[in-house]
Amino acid sequence: MSSSSQAVPTAPKPPYPPSTAPLGGIPTPIPDIPISAALVGAFGLAALAHLFLFGRNARRGRRFVFSVLLGVFSCVRMAALALRVAWAREPANANVALAATVLTNAGVLILFIVNLVLALRVVRATHPAAGWSRVAWWGFRGLVATVVAVLVMVVTCSVHSVFTLDARARRMERDVLLFAGVYMTFIALLPAIAVVLAVVLPRRGAYPAEKFGSGSMAAKMVLLAFTSTLLAVGAGFRAAVNFAAKPVNQPQWYHSRPAFYCFIFAIEIVVVYTYLFTRFDKRFYVPPGSSAPGDYSAAGQQQPGSKENVMVVPSYMNEGLY
């Protein structure tokens, strides 16, 4: 006795494919693999160069940790691009797609934090009383804390949104991602804003302006404003794409590969190599243990004036970083 059985379709399992068109589209072997391979090589050279400069400077007693951070950032970008290559080879693999998307969106925060610290150094040198105040001390740490918190929110919402079909949860997670995009654009632009304010606002207090590192202060400001503005353009583009979301089968020009590679990886390549070729490890170096007005000066002499309302920091907390 035989009976015919009808196959019962199985429900899709998470992670679920996106319902909106992804930035950069679904990668394919051509042209994504050659482009990604070329970018991996470019970021690899940048990582080696920045780490080499850190090692050479460290042997000379000039530890500049931001060279390491840019080396780490370049390695993170290499990993993101390698995942995109894997995604191009297996376009139906949702786990690889999720990992590539999250790593691409999260890695740039390293550059944002580096620029925030460099901006703080410029403010402390041009406006010592304000730059070393308790407001600046806690404000800077608050900004870094919010960047980390937003990163956690973005990763959590991005991952959860592809593991649920709950429309309400997805809508709330989209709102979080939209807020994060706008906030990160502001964070990216903040160093340029700080540079402009350092120029236009009069210096107050008894402390004179200081010089630190090599090169003029004007060159440092132009360099920082340039990289900050570039990163803000990239962050703003990401945010705008999220606001202008389209169904997965209706991609627009801003979802295209040229837009993806130009507004994300090309901008970051320019920033990484700009810092390398302009030797920001020399321009933004400050003496170890700097913790009060006067410490950025070449002689490390304390400038005259009252230290009231100035945050004095233990040297081990500031050495080579702030």
pLDDT band with cut points at 50, 70 and 90 for residue 322: low
Instruction: For residue 76, give every residue at least 6 positions away whose Cβ sits within 8 Å of its Cβ, in sequence order, or none.
Output: 103, 107, 110
Burial of 228 (0-12, 13-18, 19+ CB in 10 A): buried
Residue type, 180: A
pTM of the entire structure?
0.89
3-state secondary structure of 252: coil
The span from the CA of 100 to the CA of 85, in Å, is 9
Q: How confident is the model at residue 11 (pLDDT cuts 50, 70, 90)?
A: low
Residue 12 has a CB neighbour count (10 Å cut-off) of 10
Could you tell me how far CA 311 lies from the centroid of its own chain? Answer: 27
Reported as a pLDDT band with limits 50, 70 and 90, residue 204 is confident
> Hey, where are the domains in the chain?
29-288
pLDDT number for residue 321 = 55
pLDDT for the residue 205: 79
Q: Name the helix (H) or strand (E) containing 15.
A: none
Question: Angle at which helices 109-126 and 134-161 pack, to 10 degrees?
Answer: 170
Q: Are 285 and 190 in contact (CB under 8 A)?
A: no
For the stretch 213-243, pLDDT in tens is 999 999 999 999 999 999 999 999 999 999 9
Please tell me the class of the 29-288 domain: mainly alpha
- Please state, rounded to an integer, the average pLDDT across all residues of the chain: 89
Closest by Cα among 6, 75, 76 to 47: 75
Lowest mean pLDDT among 46-55, 116-125, 156-165: 156-165
